[in-house]
Amino acid sequence: MKKSFITLLPLLVFVLLALLFADRLAAPRMNGAIDSPLIGKPMPELPLAGWPKDIKPPYIINLFASWCAPCAIEHPNLIAMQKAGVTIIGIAYKDTQANIKKYLKAGGNPYKAVLYDDKGEAAILLGITGVPESFAVDAQGIVRARQQGPFADADTINDFVREMRK
Amino acid sequence: MTPRARARLISIVVVILGLGLAVGLALYGLSGKITYFQTPTDIASGKLTEEQLERTIRIGGMVKAGTLKQQGEVFNFTVTDNVSDLPATYRGVLPDLFREGQGVVAYGHYDTATKLFTASQILAKHDEKYMPPDVKKGMDKARQQ
Amino acid sequence: MIVEIGHFAFILALAAAIIQAVSGLMPRDSLAASAIAARASMALLGLIMLAFAGLEYAYITSDFSVLNVIMNSHSLKPLVYKIAGVWGNHEGSMLLWILMLTVFGALIATLPTIDDPLLRRRALGVQGLLATGFIAFSLFTSNPFLRTDMPPLDGNSLNPVLQDLGLAFHPPTLYLGYVGFSSVFSLAAAALLTGQVDNNWARIVKPFVALAWLSLSAGIAMGSKWAYYELGWGGWWFWDPVENASLLPWLTGTALLHSLLVLEARGALKRWTILLAVVSFSLSLLGTFLVRSGVLSSVHAFAVDPLRGTFILMLLSVYCGGAFSLYALRAPMLKTIRLFTPVSRESGIVVNNMILVTMAATVLTGTLYPLLMDALGLAQLSVGAPYYNATVVMMAIPLFILMGAGPMLPWKRPGRWLFVRPLGLCAVIAIAATLISGIKGALPMVGFGTAVWVMASSLSILWVARKNITLKTLAMSLGHFGLGLAVIGMMGTMLWKTEDIRVLNPGDTYTVGRYDLRFDGVRDVFGPNYGASEATITLGAETLHPQKRWYPVSESETTESAIRLTALDDLYIVLGERDLKFGPDAWVIRTTIHPFVSTLWAGFSLVVLSGLCMLGYSFKRKRAA
């Protein structure tokens, strides 16, 4: 069999490229947490009726709605977080009490308290970009992290909860 | 030299010349024509050289809430990485999904005299939740410093 | 229920693919194995079609218990976008990818022009191997059939920017191209295994190359056209990594269809042609990896998931690594013919290939350079148009000069310098046209001159052959002419455009270029799933209506530009923001004139047409000995 160096070249080039890609895949990844202007500042006072003064931070504030599909997708994760001892306050964004009651009955209620932001005023104050969106508030009442979109995987959830507990 | 050997020599020379030319072009292209990515903090810290500032640079960060002002077709806004602010201006029609509080990537020039970034192109994004990894990285880096 | 049938069919398909792979690649020569492989490929096609139909059904009936449908559809979406929504996301588009893969597998199994049963069987084996990997990938990491226990009231809607006919049907066309090269890859690997690469193999593989290449050309053209009218910049190519990923196999595919000419006519360039065949599909796979792994930031990229990226990289390593290893081992055994005369069609094609492959390597370098710099921790940078204009665009100039001369060069021996006269005439025409046009600047003049040169040369070939124009001649001339025409369009939009941005009040008139326009205010209109502000711009007796649309479900806004296409130029109008400081109904309007854009689309269309011609003449059975 004639040995030819040239025919080996494509394989070599490919191996180098594959190594480059493997390195990039292993590099630390971006998750859904994008810094919000609130981070590092105290949680603002929200214009919502019935804010539970007796619930002290640290907690997670989660904006959701019954008409929001990704909220339904992240819901089991919220239930799991609550079972693991995380306090979650829910803000129902532009929804009705009846729909929310039905939604929580079907999927379970992970919230220590549910507030209704039917005009979306609290949402504007928090600068959300959509639902679901969550904020991690630490024991001093400072916002530490924001999660845009649903909690999709364990790593994201762990990072988020860790921020809250700092 | 046999005709075969000569033909071979010629083809090898041609290939090397051609390749050399291509590589030369590529290196020239890569050296002078790359756009470096900067954050508002990079610019504010003043560590960019004259030469770097002369080129088109790519800015990434977020549009600071409350800073977007329109004057006809001219828009003034501030790009922030939550550590430093960079005043910017753009003349034209803003792309869809350009909003305060959202990530933005812009190409343009920074003028050290007026301390203003003039954007020649603002990138539209296809997903309002999408922040390019390099923008996020830049912002994280700025926060750590 | 129907969705479950689809899901089940998808799982069975994995078994069929494995059977196809094993029976195809089994070492012993066996008639039974050939039959099994062929039947497996037909069964595979049927099963995947069933799976795809199942998913389509879920979309069309808005079945929101299927996760994929929730994330990518909405009951208010017009039917055609529900149908297209299947492939507007990662999981669904993988299923489309796999569907194309099985279509080409079935073609390999049934095409009568393949006269070597062992070649057919091995090719089916490789194709089956490809199918196995991708079906496994889809089933285990990106299953579109997953259900949820909490179906929401409605879906999450596709991004409205993507709700557009051109964009909706651009992926299937593009995939036909990308995945079409899989059949070429399989046939090449099969040829390496059987050890027979010759004129016959070139004849067999030609229709596959033609189909893949013309689809890829059409897909790229559609993508460019969509970008042009949808993105509001009037730009049609951005050197975005994902765009480059489609350009790379196109460049090597073009080189391949030229080197096949040499392989078929002279039996030469065996190793090179096989290599091109393997490389083209490898580049398709590379593109798939780049788009779906998240290693590159791109406005086109699908949702990021490192697990999927890793799986695809493993598939890439097996398929490309395997093929390149096979090449290293078997290619040296192929008998080669070397001697080419310096001025001949063959050498012309060799130079053509060298330039095309160098262009591809340059684009690949530019695309991966930011990745490399990041991996080495050196810098965060982006490589954009300036780099590509300095390199690839420059390389296109000698390519075009060759494109005009090449088809006139004779095969084999020199001495027949008859082509010098007609070429000289074309050169004169090109130079004259450039001078007459009044274009200034070295680069624009060279660009325009070479484009005219190519067009003149193509026309003269048609003229010389006018008494008996074969599909082959037509293919070549149309293709080259189309490219020349397209270049003129490219120059128009890049170099000679006029832009005007201003604030207007209703009734204001203004002039841009050769157009006198009047702004007649903005009013509210409604579409099936959006509301919009619509401006009216009057040009003589016509009106143009740029819009700013708001889609309530996805809470996003898009700009719809108004374009008036004429042969000479495009009038392109975009509605900006309202500014009350200038008047109660004052709006910003951007008006751009893009000269010769029509020639860009006409040129692309001719290129695709030339591919169809090539497809037409490539279904040849073996000529009787």
Q: 3-class SS at C232?
A: coil
Q: Is residue C308 part of a domain?
A: yes
Indicate whether C123 and C189 sit together in one domain. Answer: no
Considering only residues 49 to 78 of chain A, which have any Cβ-Cβ distance to chain B shorter than 8 Å?
none
**What's the pLDDT score for residue B100?**
75
Q: Do A39 and B82 touch (CB under 8 A)?
A: yes
Q: Among all residues of chain A, which has the CA nearest to that of B132? A: A30
DSSP letter assigned to residue C535:
E
Average pLDDT over every residue of C441-462: 92
pLDDT digits (tens, 9 = 90+) for C147-179: 887 777 777 665 666 677 887 888 899 999 999
For the ranges A25-34, B98-107, C227-236, C420-429, the maximum mean pLDDT occurs at C420-429
Contact, B88 vs B78, CB < 8 A?
yes
Q: Would you give the end-to-end CA distance of chain A in angstroms?
A: 66
- On whether any CB of chain A is under 8 Å from the CB of B119, the answer is no
Angle at C547 between CA C546 and CA C548, to 5 degrees: 145
Indicate whether B19 and B45 sit together in one domain. Answer: no
Q: Are strands B57-63 and B34-38 parallel, antiparallel or unpaired?
A: parallel
Contact, C87 vs C52, CB < 8 A?
no
Contact, C357 vs C249, CB < 8 A?
no
Within 8 A of C555 by CB-CB distance, chain A residues are 130
**What's the pLDDT score for residue C396?**
94
Q: Give kind and range of the element (H or E) at residue C539.
A: strand C531-539
Facing residue for A127 by CB, picked from B65, B82, B131: B65
CA atoms of C21 and C124, how far apart (whole Å): 7
Cis peptide before A132 (omega within 30 of 0): yes
Short-list C256, C264, C259, C215, CA closest to C113: C264
C390, C418, C450 — which closes off a domain?
C390
CA atoms of C437 and C451, how far apart (whole Å): 13
Facing residue for B102 by CB, picked from A29, A129, A149: A129
Instruction: Provide Rg for chain C, Cα atoms.
Output: 26
Where residue B143 falls among pLDDT bands split at 50, 70, 90?
Answer: low
Q: Is residue C612 part of a domain?
A: no
Q: B48: domain range?
A: 37-144
Short-list C362, C245, C381, C376, CA closest to A24: C376
Q: Is residue C581 part of a domain?
A: yes
Indicate whether C550 and C570 sit together in one domain. Answer: yes
**What's the pLDDT score for residue B118?**
92
Facing residue for B129 by CB, picked from A35, A127, A129: A129
Within 8 A of A15 by CB-CB distance, chain C residues are 321
Q: State the smallest CA–CA distance between residue A80 and chain C in angstroms.
A: 16
CA atoms of B1 and C515, how far apart (whole Å): 68
Facing residue for C380 by CB, picked from B33, B123, B137: B137
Q: Do A34 and B101 touch (CB under 8 A)?
A: no
Within 8 A of A134 by CB-CB distance, chain B residues are none
Q: Which amino acid is at A37?
A: P
CA atoms of C382 and C370, how far apart (whole Å): 6
DSSP letter assigned to residue A46:
P
pLDDT digits (tens, 9 = 90+) for C541-585: 899 999 988 877 666 777 888 999 898 899 999 998 888 888 888
Q: Give kind and range of the element (H or E) at residue C573.
A: strand C569-578
Q: 3-class SS at C30?
A: coil
CA atoms of C432 and C452, how far apart (whole Å): 10
Q: Do C556 and B30 touch (CB under 8 A)?
A: no
Within 8 A of A22 by CB-CB distance, chain C residues are 313
Within 8 A of B97 by CB-CB distance, chain C residues are 556-557
Where residue C31 falls among pLDDT bands split at 50, 70, 90?
Answer: confident
Where residue C300 falls among pLDDT bands split at 50, 70, 90?
Answer: low
Q: Do B95 and C395 touch (CB under 8 A)?
A: no
Phi, psi of C593 (to 5 degrees): -115, 125
pLDDT digits (tens, 9 = 90+) for C475-521: 999 999 999 999 999 988 888 889 999 999 999 999 998 999 999 98
**Lowest mean pLDDT segment, chosen from B64-78, C88-102, C405-419:** C405-419
**Residue C329: other Cβ atoms inside 10 A:** 16
Where residue B81 falls among pLDDT bands split at 50, 70, 90?
Answer: confident
Side-chain half-sphere CA neighbours of B75 within 13 A: 25
- On whether any CB of chain C is under 8 Å from the CB of B13, the answer is no
Q: Do C232 and B137 touch (CB under 8 A)?
A: no
Contact, B95 vs B122, CB < 8 A?
yes
Domain count, chain B: 2
Within 8 A of B132 by CB-CB distance, chain C residues are 297
Q: State the smallest CA–CA distance between residue B51 and chain A in angstroms.
A: 30
**What's the pLDDT score for residue A1?**
43
Q: 3-class SS at C111?
A: coil
**What's the pLDDT score for residue A31?**
40
Q: Do C558 and B96 touch (CB under 8 A)?
A: yes
Cβ-Cβ pairs closer than 8 A, A with C, add up to 92
CA atoms of C476 and C606, how far apart (whole Å): 11
Q: Do A30 and B101 touch (CB under 8 A)?
A: no
CATH number of the domain bearing residue B72: 2.40.50.140
Indicate whether C150 and C274 sit together in one domain. Answer: no
Q: Do C150 and A107 touch (CB under 8 A)?
A: yes
Q: Which of A3, A15, A21 to mutate to test the interface with C (most CBs of C within 10 A)?
A: A21
CA atoms of C578 and C593, how far apart (whole Å): 22
Q: State the smallest CA–CA distance between residue B54 and chain A in angstroms.
A: 30
Q: Is A141 left (phi over 0), alpha (psi -120 to 50) or beta?
A: left
The b/e string for A74-88 (b: 16+ C-beta within 10 A; e otherwise) is bbbbbeebbeeebbb
pLDDT digits (tens, 9 = 90+) for C330-371: 988 888 777 677 778 888 899 999 999 999 999 999 999 988
DSSP letter assigned to residue C242:
H
Facing residue for A37 by CB, picked from B82, B103, B143: B82
Indicate whether C381 and C237 sit together in one domain. Answer: yes
Q: Do A25 and C372 touch (CB under 8 A)?
A: no
Within 8 A of A36 by CB-CB distance, chain B residues are 101
Q: Is residue C559 part of a domain?
A: yes
Q: 3-class SS at C340?
A: coil
pLDDT digits (tens, 9 = 90+) for C61-88: 988 888 888 878 888 788 888 898 899 8
**What's the pLDDT score for residue C158?**
54
Within 8 A of A35 by CB-CB distance, chain B residues are 62, 82, 139, 143
**Lowest mean pLDDT segment, chosen from B135-144, C94-103, C125-134, C530-539:** B135-144
Indicate whether B41 and B99 sit together in one domain. Answer: yes
How far CA C405 is from CA of A4, C252, C410, in Å, comes to 34, 21, 10
CATH 3.40.30.10 fits A59-164, yes or no: yes
Of residues A39 and B135, which shows the higher confidence score? A39
Contact, C285 vs C321, CB < 8 A?
no
**What's the pLDDT score for residue B133?**
52
Average pLDDT over every residue of B103-127: 79
Indicate whether C502 and C484 sit together in one domain. Answer: no
Residue B131, pLDDT > 70, answer: no
Of residues C552 and C49, which shows the higher confidence score? C49
Return per-residue pLDDT of chain A as tens, 166 residues. 445 688 899 999 999 999 999 988 877 544 433 456 677 778 888 878 888 888 888 899 999 888 777 787 788 888 888 888 889 999 998 888 888 898 888 888 999 999 998 877 787 677 676 778 899 988 888 888 888 777 877 777 888 888 888 7
Q: Among all residues of chain C, which has the CA nearest to that of B126? A: C299
Contacts of C466 (CB under 8 A, 6+ apart): none
Indicate whether B75 and B44 sit together in one domain. Answer: yes
Q: Which amino acid is at C608?
A: V
Reported ipTM: the value is 0.84
**What's the pLDDT score for residue A143?**
87
Of residues B39 and C387, which shows the higher confidence score? C387
| Two structure tokens written together for C151 | 């179906």
**What's the pLDDT score for residue C604?**
96
Q: Do C502 and B22 touch (CB under 8 A)?
A: no
Q: State the smallest CA–CA distance between residue C393 and chain B in angstroms.
A: 11
Q: C69: domain range?
A: 1-163
Average pLDDT over every residue of C464-473: 88
Short-list C226, C64, C206, CA closest to C149: C64
Short-list C353, C362, C433, CA closest to C399: C353
CA atoms of B29 and C392, how far apart (whole Å): 10
Q: Is residue C618 part of a domain?
A: no
Indicate whether C465 and C432 sit together in one domain. Answer: yes
Within 8 A of C581 by CB-CB distance, chain B residues are 70-72
**What's the pLDDT score for residue C383?**
86
Considering only residues 23 to 62 of chain B, which have any Cβ-Cβ distance to chain A shorter than 8 Å?
62
Considering only residues 70 to 109 of chain B, which have any Cβ-Cβ distance to chain C shorter than 8 Å?
70-73, 75, 91-97, 107
Considering only residues 38 to 57 of chain B, which have any Cβ-Cβ distance to chain C shorter than 8 Å?
none
Angle at A64 between CA A61 and CA A66, to 5 degrees: 150
CA atoms of C327 and C22, how far apart (whole Å): 21
Residue B130, pLDDT > 50, answer: no
Where residue C12 falls among pLDDT bands split at 50, 70, 90?
Answer: very high
Where residue C624 falls among pLDDT bands split at 50, 70, 90?
Answer: very low
| Two structure tokens written together for C42 | 């037909």
How far CA C342 is from CA of A83, B14, C476, in Å, comes to 78, 11, 22
**What's the pLDDT score for residue C545?**
93
Facing residue for B136 by CB, picked from A30, A36, A149: A30
Domain count, chain C: 4
Q: State the smallest CA–CA distance between residue C381 and chain A in angstroms.
A: 15
Within 8 A of C332 by CB-CB distance, chain A residues are 1-4, 7
Helices of type H across C331-441: 345-375, 385-390, 392-405, 420-437
Q: Which of B131, B139, B141 to mutate to test the interface with A (most CBs of A within 10 A)?
A: B131
- On whether any CB of chain B is under 8 Å from the CB of A127, the answer is yes
The residue written with tokens 């854009």 in the block is C597
**What's the pLDDT score for residue C304?**
61
Indicate whether B50 and B29 sit together in one domain. Answer: no
Indicate whether C432 and C448 sit together in one domain. Answer: yes
Phi, psi of C249 (to 5 degrees): -65, -25
Where residue C120 falls among pLDDT bands split at 50, 70, 90?
Answer: very high
- On whether any CB of chain A is under 8 Å from the CB of B63, the answer is no
What average pLDDT is seen over chain C?
Answer: 88
Facing residue for C559 by CB, picked from B72, B75, B96: B96
Contacts of C122 (CB under 8 A, 6+ apart): C24, C25, C189, C190, C193, C194
Q: How would you write C452-487 as a 3-class SS string?
A: HHHHHHHHHHHHHCCCCCCHHHHHHHHHHHHHHHHH
**What's the pLDDT score for residue A71?**
81
**What's the pLDDT score for residue C99?**
97
Indicate whether B140 and B71 sit together in one domain. Answer: yes
**What's the pLDDT score for residue C250?**
97
List C502's β-bridge partners, or say none. C589
Average pLDDT over every residue of C199-213: 95
Average pLDDT over every residue of B118-139: 61
Q: What is the DSSP string of B26-68?
A: HHHHHHHSEEEEE-HHHHHTT---HHHHHS-EEEEEEEPTT--
Indicate whether C129 and C181 sit together in one domain. Answer: no
Task: Return the sign of the alpha-carbon dihedral for residues C519, C521, C525, C530.
Answer: positive
Q: Do C332 and A107 touch (CB under 8 A)?
A: no
The CA dihedral of C360, C362, C363, C368, to the nearest 10 degrees, is 120
Q: Among all residues of chain A, which has the CA nearest to that of B81? A: A35
The residue written with tokens 């919220």 in the block is A78
Q: Among all residues of chain B, which has the CA nearest to that of C303? A: B130
Residue C184, pLDDT > 90, answer: yes
Indicate whether B112 and B80 sit together in one domain. Answer: yes
Indicate whether B23 and B67 sit together in one domain. Answer: no
Q: Interface partners of A (3+ CB pairs, < 8 Å)?
A: B, C
Indicate whether B25 and B85 sit together in one domain. Answer: no
| Two structure tokens written together for C507 | 């009734």
Indicate whether C429 and C557 sit together in one domain. Answer: no
Residue C255, pLDDT > 90, answer: yes
Within 8 A of C292 by CB-CB distance, chain A residues are none
Q: 3-class SS at C585?
A: coil
The CA dihedral of C603, C205, C395, C235, to the nearest 10 degrees, is 40
List B117's β-bridge partners, or say none. B88, B110
Indicate whether C356 and C286 sit together in one domain. Answer: yes
Q: What is the DSSP string of C10-28?
A: HHHHHHHHHHHHHHHH-SS
Q: Give kind and range of the element (H or E) at residue C512.
A: strand C509-512
